[in-house]
Amino acid sequence: MSLINQMLQDLAQRQAPTADTLSQVTAIPLQPRKKGIPIWFWVSLTSLIAINAAAWLWWHSRPNTAQPVTPPIMRHAIQAAVPAVTKPAPTVAPPPAVPVAAVAQPTLASTIPTLTPSLTLSLGISNPNPSVLPSKPVPLNDPVQITANSSISKQLKPLTTAQLAENEYRKALTLTQQGHINEGMESFSLALSLDPHHHAARLTLVGLLIENKRMAEAERRLQDGIALDADQTDLAMILARLQVERGSITDGIATLERSLPYASEQADYQAFLAALLQRNGRHKSAIEHYIVALKKAPQSGVWWMGLGISLKADNQPDKAREAFTRAKATNNLSPDLLAFVNQQLS
């Protein structure tokens, strides 16, 4: 409050008149009094009136009825005292007004068609209460009446199949987390039917199928995915693993070789293919893929050991011994594998 009071005092001081401002104010001069009509004018006017009255009496007292003649001096005096009155111009009555029929000017509302009930329905305008429909059609240029008497139905943009598939995928995840495995698998299947390229839904469904020992269906889902997207190398590796476990190494190799162009920079893919080729007796090809894998991950003791096995089988003992030595130096072999490597170096 003290701050507000201080501000009010400052304003009062600024508005108070000072000596400088008072010195700049000048006195307003008095206006001279206007002079009245001189006395001689009234005396002259009175004399003229008296002379005129005497002349009138004298004229009417004479027996002669001839037209009187006003003396020139009196005529001049009367003209000087009484201002001349101008004769008003004759008033001419205006011609009678001709009645003109009122012509209605066209308006914007009259040029636009109105909303009839059928047109209202076709435009998507609905009225929840037909009893309160307006007594006359609502013009299109009257947004207030349209808002008051009807509402425009808005339709949501339909979801795409990809969006529907994503929603079904999330529903399936929720079901599986809640322990409803069968319902979850059905939702994953529905998501794939909506969007066959939904990679996460396919991977999760395959995992559930493998856990439930439904290997044939899992392989089929994997093969469908690879056929649609050949660059999905993770699907190819899982399928090859299932094929090897059911005893078909050649099928596993064929699966990996089909997707190999998309896995040239993947060390684990190259090493997996090398191991299958090694088990199939194709050591030269196995050596090539082991070398590619080790260039990407030189600290893998298992891959060095696998390279040493194929080199020894290909009659390259010196290079095989070097590979086994590198495998031991990584210090990441299990006890059983380390014992095997030591046996090869002895």
Closest CA to 114 of 136, 147, 144, 143: 136
For 131-140, the pLDDT digits (tens) are 444 445 445 4
pTM: 0.55
Q: What is the chain's mean pLDDT, rounded?
A: 73
Residue type, 102: A
CA-to-CA separations, 214 to 210, 219, 229, 340, in angstroms, rounded: 6, 9, 23, 36
- Terminal alpha carbon distance of the chain: 99
Q: Looking at residues 204-230, what average pLDDT do you find? A: 95
Q: What is the pLDDT of residue 10?
A: 44
Q: What is the pLDDT of residue 2?
A: 43
Q: What is the pLDDT of residue 120?
A: 35
DSSP character at residue 82: S
Range of weakest confidence among 39-43, 84-88, 259-263: 84-88
Tell me the β-bridge partners of 125: 152
In the chain the domains, ranked by start, together with CATH numbers, are: 264-346 (1.25.40.10)
Residue bearing the bigger pLDDT, 215 or 98: 215
For 1-14, the pLDDT digits (tens) are 444 344 444 444 54
For 156-168, the pLDDT digits (tens) are 789 999 999 999 9
Three-point CA angle 156, 162, 167, nearest 5°: 75
Residue bearing the bigger pLDDT, 142 or 293: 293
Q: Looking at residues 319-337, what average pLDDT do you find? A: 96
Given a contact cutoff of 8 angstroms between Cβ atoms, the answer to whether 310 and 290 are in contact is: yes
Q: What is the pLDDT of residue 21?
A: 39
Q: What is the bridge-based pairing of β-strands 125-126 and 114-115?
A: unpaired
Given a contact cutoff of 8 angstroms between Cβ atoms, the answer to whether 259 and 238 are in contact is: no
Q: What is the pLDDT of residue 214?
A: 95
